Amino acid sequence: MTGGTLADWQERDAAHVMATYARAPLAFTHGQGTALFDVEGRPYLDFLCGLAVTNLGHANPAVTEAVARQAGRLVHTSNLFLTEPMLDLAERLARIIGWDDARSFFSNCGGTANEAAIKLARRWGKRQNPAKVRVVTLEGSFHGRTMATLEATGQPAKHVPFQPLLGYVDTVPFDNAAALRAAVTDRHCAVMLEVVQGEGGVRPVPDDVLHAAREACDDHGALLIVDEVQTGIGRTGQWFAFQATSVQPDVVTVAKALANGLPIGACIAHGDAAAVFGPGDHATTFGGNPVTAAAACAVIDTIESSDLLAAARERSAQLVQRIEEMAGDTPLITGVRGSGLLLGVTLDAPVARAVEHACRERFLVVNAVADDVLRLAPPLTVTADEIDLALSALTEACNHVGGSSTRGKA
């Protein structure tokens, strides 16, 4: 590690890393709690958490200790053998999801967790009828970047560079229960959706759509898959977002926050769906490896011991109230939507990227998740004072961008 300036890092990135990201002109060296520190040592308030990943903040001591201890004992054996951290994690996931008969398949990320769920659903469907392989998803959804999960993602612009796709998905409006019911037939093995669409603009899916999905799956022998990759592990003030509804899925996927930044995902099923896969049906080299599983166990234990689900609900109420008050006084801001600490600040103009940039200039990290929506996803450990600081920076950013927009129109 030789350090260097931001320009040095950008030069190295351009020379040797594929250009798949439009990076912000910012590089971080370390973090602590809600703070990130750039190459010049300046602290930023992190209200993005690596896209809803570091739910316990940066350098959490319990996770650090669990990783160091396990790395000193055993890092990898492959899934041909049992390791205790994987078993510990599977048992914890069954407990927090509330399914005594839950079984998990461990993967490396959200995309591969969703890939596993789709394959499980197709295996389920083909046992009933060889043609029962189609999946219904919602417009605006995001389920991953593999070829199967890319097509399941209800954002056509992301499909274009890789067409033709596999042709197994039917996509319906995210807020139309009747359209969803009509789309599901006996040829469908699953409906796949998010309770809150994170990358789709922090949009909660209406309750009637969730109920329509459950009913359509029951009527046609399909599985209901709920993608909790962004909403799971306390992000919404529940362990999983579906737990705040009256709808029970057959399969849930989780990743991002599960190990507070280490790469892990899980496809969790219960009931008959939990017994679909047999030996050789699906596999992964690194899924559930001891170090990431130990980190995930530490995450779950810390959220429980520190009562961070309640803390997330409390801090969410503070954020929502303050942003709703700002909507009457602050340029651009019209309101807020979402759940828990996954919130979208809605704007009255397509200037979210400009506001994101203005926030960074004021040492606040957020991101534009749509042209007129700014995503806030602070850690569950965020304090009331940190929220005050962040909203002060957001107010200044909106005043700056709103004033510039007004001047530009004059």
Spans of all domains in the chain: 6-59+307-409, 74-305
Please state, in angstroms and rounded to a whole number, the distance separating the CA atoms of residues 209 and 307. Answer: 31
Terminal C-alpha separation, the chain: 51
What backbone phi and psi angles, to 5 degrees, belong to 137?
A: -130, 175
The CATH T-level fold of domain 6-59+307-409 is: Aspartate Aminotransferase, domain 1 (3.90.1150)
Taking residues 59-77, what's their average pLDDT?
98
- Report yes or no: 358 and 401 within 8 Å, Cβ to Cβ: yes
Residue 409's pLDDT band (boundaries 50, 70, 90)? very low
Average pLDDT over residues 373-400: 98
- Alpha carbon separation from 172 to 68, 141, 176 (Å, rounded): 46, 10, 8
Confidence of residue 3 (pLDDT cuts 50, 70, 90): confident
* Amino acid 1: pLDDT: 45
Q: Which residue is it, tokens 């940190």? A: 386
Q: What is the pLDDT of residue 2?
A: 57
The model's confidence at residue 410, banded by pLDDT at 50, 70 and 90, is very low
Whether the per-residue pLDDT at 24 is higher than 70: the answer is yes
What's the whole-number mean pLDDT along residues 70-74?
98
Strands 134-138 and 188-193: parallel
- Report whether pLDDT(19) > 90: yes
CATH architecture of 74-305: 3-Layer(aba) Sandwich (3.40)
Q: Is the pTM of this model over 0.75?
A: yes
Whether the pLDDT of residue 293 is over 50: the answer is: yes
pLDDT, the chain, mean: 96
**Is residue 85 within 8 Å of residue 104, measured between CB atoms?**
no
